[in-house]
Amino acid sequence: MVGVRAASVQVVIYRADMAERTYGELPQFPTGSTFRDRRELAASGVHRPLQAGICGGKDGSESIVVSGGYVDDEDRGEEIIYTGQGGNDPGTRRQIADQQLTVGNAGLARSQLEGNPVRVIRGAGGDAAYSPPTGYRYDGLFRVVDHWADTGIDGFQIWRFRLVSLDSIDSPPTDAIDGVPVDRSAAVVQRLIRSTAVANGVKKMHHYRCQVCGVDLTTPTGPYAEAAHIRALGRPHNGPDAPGNVLCLCPNHHALFDAGAIYVEAGLVRDWQGNELGVLRTVPKHKLDSAQLVYHRKHRCP
Amino acid sequence: MVGVRAASVQVVIYRADMAERTYGELPQFPTGSTFRDRRELAASGVHRPLQAGICGGKDGSESIVVSGGYVDDEDRGEEIIYTGQGGNDPGTRRQIADQQLTVGNAGLARSQLEGNPVRVIRGAGGDAAYSPPTGYRYDGLFRVVDHWADTGIDGFQIWRFRLVSLDSIDSPPTDAIDGVPVDRSAAVVQRLIRSTAVANGVKKMHHYRCQVCGVDLTTPTGPYAEAAHIRALGRPHNGPDAPGNVLCLCPNHHALFDAGAIYVEAGLVRDWQGNELGVLRTVPKHKLDSAQLVYHRKHRCP
């Protein structure tokens, strides 16, 4: 953990439009950066709201503060069970009403669905084993891996989120097993964030509709689609992590595509035996890389 | 690595019906068990064919022998790039014809799709760094994580399979991060095998049709469906790994179910706002545990 001197906080990236999200790490504030108070923290852009524990809305959440504000929080270091916002008396810190899956809570659920990383900031009020002695400290990127409704200690409904440190999530076997040392805390996390950004961009271009069947899956926290890499990332395929190598698919067609059950050629979707299934849905701004489609057909389909 | 004396090979589990698959570890032959030759290996049941490198057919593959028979094999210890069977001249060990995705090759692809573990046996002819000096050695369970067609060293099409040791695949964060030591090589692998068996059983009962929409996804290596745990396994939900807690779903309805977008009540499928979407498809021998369905709705749906 390295402290960041107050001087570096001069790089203010606060923006008026709170809805524009910045996911991932801010280069000026690496893990371990410290902040005197919520005002300094907000000014840094690492966690922009002055009071709320969650920076987010239904489009996603970019950061949270863990500082002992909710009796149901559980901090285990690499894993945090975080209580959603709302229904809380700031004076007594007890729950006095049910929480809803809205605003920041909906945002954390959305970040789970999209795979977006969440910046975690710990405050001095949190679990003594993992919190800074004073002020606030940025403790790196976490991923939301689960969320569920529960009855809290005070008898009201709360939404709970399980967040796991990206440092503790193992990189895919591709990176971990061929004896080549991988700088996990930098390269792997950066790649993961870039990959998430590319995936989100493609899904947005298609409004989360499957390019094969046009289905539009709806969940309580927004639409759901998957970004399917045409030529797989990592060894041995080494496909590029770029929009031209990504399709926006429903989970069913993602599974079929990866299993070599369908392929795309000259704008048509065919089954592996060559039968035409239909036209691939496209949008003008999403240009597919046809060399990757050729690779997919050649290597995946029998 | 422990050697197993010839005496223990008296426990013969060879069966006439080669199509009846035994996935996972045979209790009598733990990792490191050694065998003098292919006859002793076949008699043990760890790898039943006397000559073929793959024990399997289109329903799945239960074991492979890695012993240097194919020039395109790559052994990296925890990871193996295994060449499929066929097109190979046993005298010269060179490829003389294209391989097809049939028989044992289709079986390894099927094992990937189903998540079934594969027993790996190394023979003295393989890569010296990882192979026994003489005879054969059972080296534990691997999972098939990828398969693709490629042009081999000799210019013919081969099917390649990437297998990764189960010991090297990390258990989910649930098991790895709360400070409780986990006996990976025993408990985790056993749980994984049991979980796979329960999942396969439920999918078979429903003939791989989605219980929500009835869709039947077909791939070059057979039907594809997913086993969705109604109440999630592991902390904090701790759902039982039993057929009554599993639904057979297509990937789309699996995603919607996990996201709390749909729930099941009194045999009906509803969206999270209570709108009726249809009747859950059932089969008499698959009894669902209604307490788990209540848990799912209560904790997943807003």
Helix (H, G, I), strand (E, B) or coil at A153: coil
For testing contact with chain B, the best of A144, A210, A252 (most B CBs within 10 A): A252
CB atoms within 10 A of CB A86: 19
Does A25 share its domain with A152? yes
- Give the model's confidence band at B169: pLDDT under 50 very low, under 70 low, under 90 confident, else very high: low
Question: Does B170 contact chain A (CB < 8 Å)?
Answer: yes
Q: Which residue of B has its CA nearest to A76?
A: B178
Quick check: B7 pLDDT over 80? no
Mark which of A111, A140, A165 sits at the end of a domain.
Answer: A165
DSSP classification of residue B210? -
Cα(A146)–Cα(A20) distance, rounded to whole angstroms?
Answer: 24
Quick check: B179 pLDDT over 80? no
H helix count then E strand count, chain A: 6, 15
Does B160 share its domain with B184? no
Residue B279 lies in a domain: yes
Does B47 share its domain with B114? yes
Tokens of A247: 């399709």
Question: Does B238 contact chain A (CB < 8 Å)?
Answer: no
Nearest to B272 among A145, A148, A220 (CB): A220
Does B179 share its domain with B265? yes
Domain containing residue A193 = 182-300
> pLDDT at position B10, please?
27
> pLDDT at position B70, please?
86
Q: What sign results for the dihedral spanned by CA atoms A10, A13, A18, A22?
A: negative
Residue B249 lies in a domain: yes
Is there a contact between A301 and B220 if contact means CB atoms under 8 Å apart? Answer: yes
Is there a contact between A177 and B169 if contact means CB atoms under 8 Å apart? Answer: no
The residue type at A27 = P
By mean pLDDT, which of A219-233, B98-112, B180-194, B235-249 is the weakest? B180-194
Does A14 share its domain with A116? yes
Q: How far is B150 from chain A (nearest CA, A)?
A: 6
Does B190 share its domain with B148? no
Does A161 share its domain with A261? no
More confident residue, A150 or B167: A150
Residue B1 lies in a domain: no
> pLDDT at position A103, please?
93
Residue A176 lies in a domain: no
Does B16 share its domain with B147? yes
Cα(B253)–Cα(B261) distance, rounded to whole angstroms?
Answer: 9
Mark which of B110, B138, B165 sits at the end of a domain.
Answer: B165
Q: Which residue of A has its CA nearest to B147?
A: A300
Quick check: B8 pLDDT over 90? no
Does B160 share its domain with B281? no
Does A186 share its domain with A161? no
What is the pLDDT averaged over residues B34-55? 96
Q: What is the CATH classification number for the domain harbouring A80?
A: 2.30.280.10
By mean pLDDT, which of A73-82, A190-199, B236-245, B287-296 is the weakest? A190-199
Q: How far is A97 from chain B (nearest CA, A)?
A: 15
By mean pLDDT, which of A200-209, A215-224, B62-71, B88-97 is the weakest? B88-97
Residues of B with CB below 8 A from A83's CB? none
Cα(A192)–Cα(A176) distance, rounded to whole angstroms?
Answer: 15
The list of chain A residues with pLDDT below 50 reads 1-18, 171-184
Nearest to B76 among A100, A150, A177 (CB): A177
- Give the model's confidence band at B19: pLDDT under 50 very low, under 70 low, under 90 confident, else very high: low
Residues of B with CB below 8 A from A210's CB? none
Residues of A with CB below 8 A from B263's CB? none
Residue B19 lies in a domain: yes
Does A207 share its domain with A247? yes
| Residues whose CB falls within 8 Å of the CB of residue B200, separated by 6 or more in sequence, listed in order | B114, B116, B227
Residue B105 lies in a domain: yes
What is the pLDDT averaged over residues B106-111? 96
The residue type at A255 = A
Does B157 share its domain with B63? yes
Interface of B with A in 249-288 (CB under 8 A): 250-252, 254-256, 259-261, 272
Mark which of B165, B192, B211 sits at the end of a domain.
Answer: B165
Nearest to B299 among A149, A237, A254 (CB): A149
As for how many domains chain B has, the answer is 2
Question: Does A164 contact chain B (CB < 8 Å)?
Answer: yes
Structure pTM? Answer: 0.85
More confident residue, B92 or B299: B299
Residues of A with CB below 8 A from B260's CB? 219-220
Is there a contact between A224 and B256 if contact means CB atoms under 8 Å apart? Answer: yes
Residue B84 lies in a domain: yes
Helix (H, G, I), strand (E, B) or coil at A145: strand
Residue A173 lies in a domain: no
Cα(B302)–Cα(A190) distance, rounded to whole angstroms?
Answer: 33
Interface of A with B in 64-93 (CB under 8 A): 76-79, 81
Residues of A with CB below 8 A from B78's CB? 177
DSSP classification of residue A283? -
> pLDDT at position A71, please?
87
Is there a contact between A149 and B176 if contact means CB atoms under 8 Å apart? Answer: no
> pLDDT at position B234, please?
87
Quick check: B175 pLDDT over 60? no
What is the DSSP code string of B49-80? Answer: -SS-SEEEETTEEEEEEESS-STT-EE-SSEE
**Alpha-helical segments (H) within B83-159:** 103-114
Question: Does A222 contact chain B (CB < 8 Å)?
Answer: no
Question: Does B210 contact chain A (CB < 8 Å)?
Answer: no
